Amino acid sequence: MAKTKTKFCCQECGYESPKWLGKCPGCQSWNTFVEEVETVSKTQGVHSSILRTKEKPVSIINIKSSEEQRIVTRNKELNRVLGGGLVPGSLLLVGGDPGIGKSTLLLQTSHDLTESDKKVLYVSGEESVRQTKLRADRLNASSELLYVLCETNLEQIEAAIDEVQPDFLVIDSIQTVYHPGVTSAPGSVSQVRECTGHFMRIAKIKGIATVLVGHVTKEGAIAGPRLLEHMVDCVLYFEGERHHSYRLLRAVKNRFGATNEIGIFEMQESGLVEVSNPSELFLSERPLGVSGSTVVASMEGTRPVLVELQALVSSTNFPSPRRMATGIDHNRLALIIAVLEKRMGMFLANQDAYVNVAGGVKLDEPAVDLAIAVSIASSLREQPTQPFDVVFGEVGLTGEVRGVSRVDQRVKEAEKLGFRRVILPEKSLKGWTSPSGIEVIGVNTVAEALKATLG
């Protein structure tokens, strides 16, 4: 006989408790506990419908190592983020804000795969078949090999997979799918965990490249337990400002490629269009001869990207000046301002400081520190930087400029776009040969960098 067990689960992190709690001890969130009923069998455990295989332990010496055959899509930006293409039997998780373009990207990718004679099953739990058809007509993504199913029952989805035998499977979204053997509501921790585990077993056993679309919380993280990101092979975040037409697909976890790799797309009427040269795009509207504007060479995964960093420093009558940052870490901005005050003698205690990365890009590497310092000093002194200079380097608390990685790729990208000088750390000049068409200036301190850029 099976018995029922009542428990309370946090919908943010998956913490379980035998009683209701107002505040979660795991993630410190308030009012996130929901009662869930679990059916437990004495002989078969929680759920008896588990896919079983006859695999036996094999010595690692006897396993033949071979390059994994990837499914290459026609979208080069997506292939870059995935590490070369889709891996058969892999499980991917795609998250992003509502309306950012997740379903559009996956429907376009499904159509591209059908052009290579691949069967695709697109399961939508949020839209009807007709709604999906309307989007497909707008994107010109119609093919006989593209099958669409509107279903949320896991058993019915599994039956459709057995019938179609697809090469590529899309579940949009995992929060809408429910397992009939789990009594909790769809989207709960138990349902998401069980359904994801089931799709993972289907992908591994049948060799189907599977993509799960995940909802995000108001903080931007994927909703559900953290276990969800641990179970999948690849986690992709689709980012972008709602008021900008550019979208960034960022890999934060990838078992088959590099992490922190990005792909850049532009949203148009016909769908998402890949951007092959993002540096030229981000610098297209850059003003010349204006104080506070600096070009920085940042690495996004294995790709160098040149973006414009803008700073505005203005006096304030309030006792505590404002420090606002868009696209960079707010704490990093406060640190750079403290270094300029202490080491460079700049008085910023009565000045508001605003720093913005043009184009809606987010920069999170320390190599942008020197460009932030140069932009703030340029705006404070009302002295514009040289229009064809590129600046990058990490700034320490004593005012020194520390070395960064992948210097040669950054310099080559600057030369390709027509820049004439690069100001970089002195310690990063070793181990590579600079191109002949661009001047490279090494600096050891922030003072030397300001002297080279502002005179």
Q: How far lies 390's CA from each of 94, 211, 270, 361, 417, in Å?
A: 34, 39, 35, 17, 11
Q: Digits of tens for pLDDT over the chain (455 positions)?
A: 556 778 888 887 778 888 999 999 988 888 888 888 766 554 444 444 444 556 788 898 888 776 668 899 999 999 989 988 999 999 999 998 888 889 999 999 999 999 999 999 999 999 999 999 999 999 998 899 999 999 999 999 999 999 999 999 999 989 999 998 887 888 888 888 889 999 999 999 999 999 999 988 776 777 766 778 888 999 999 887 666 778 889 898 999 888 878 888 988 888 899 988 888 888 888 888 899 999 999 998 788 999 999 999 999 988 899 999 999 999 999 999 999 999 999 999 999 999 999 877 889 899 999 999 999 999 999 999 998 999 999 999 999 999 999 999 999 999 999 999 999 999 999 889 888 889 999 999 999 999 999 97
User: What confidence score (pLDDT) does residue 45 get?
Assistant: 42
187: annotated binding-site residue? no
Give me the DSSP letters along 311-362.
EEEEE-SSSS--EEEESS-HHHHHHHHHHHHHHH----TTEEEEEEETTS--
Beta-strand relationship, 234-239 and 246-254? antiparallel
455 is in an annotated binding site: no
- pLDDT for the residue numbered 54: 67
Which residue shows structure tokens 């099976």? 2
Within a 10 A sphere around the Cβ of 321, how many other Cβ atoms? 17
Is 434 part of any known ligand binding site? no
Which CATH number applies to 71-276?
3.40.50.300
* pTM of the model as a whole: 0.77
Residue 100 annotated as binding? yes
Tell whether 188 is in a known binding site: no
Query: CA torsion sign, 107 to 108 to 109 to 113?
Result: positive
Please say whether the beta carbons of 224 and 175 come within 8 A.
yes
> Would you say 57 is a known binding-site residue?
no
98 annotated to bind ligand: yes
pLDDT score recorded for residue 49: 45
7 phi and psi angles, rounded to 5 deg = -145, 165
Sole residue written with tokens 């080559």: 412
- CB atoms near residue 48 (< 10 Å): 10
Residue indicated by tokens 């089931």: 198
Q: Which pLDDT does position 52 carry in this prediction?
A: 57
Please give the CATH number for the structural domain made up of 280-454: 3.30.230.10
Structure confidence at residue 47 (pLDDT): 45
Domain residues of the chain, as ranges?
Answer: 3-40, 71-276, 280-454
Residue 22 assigned as binding residue: no
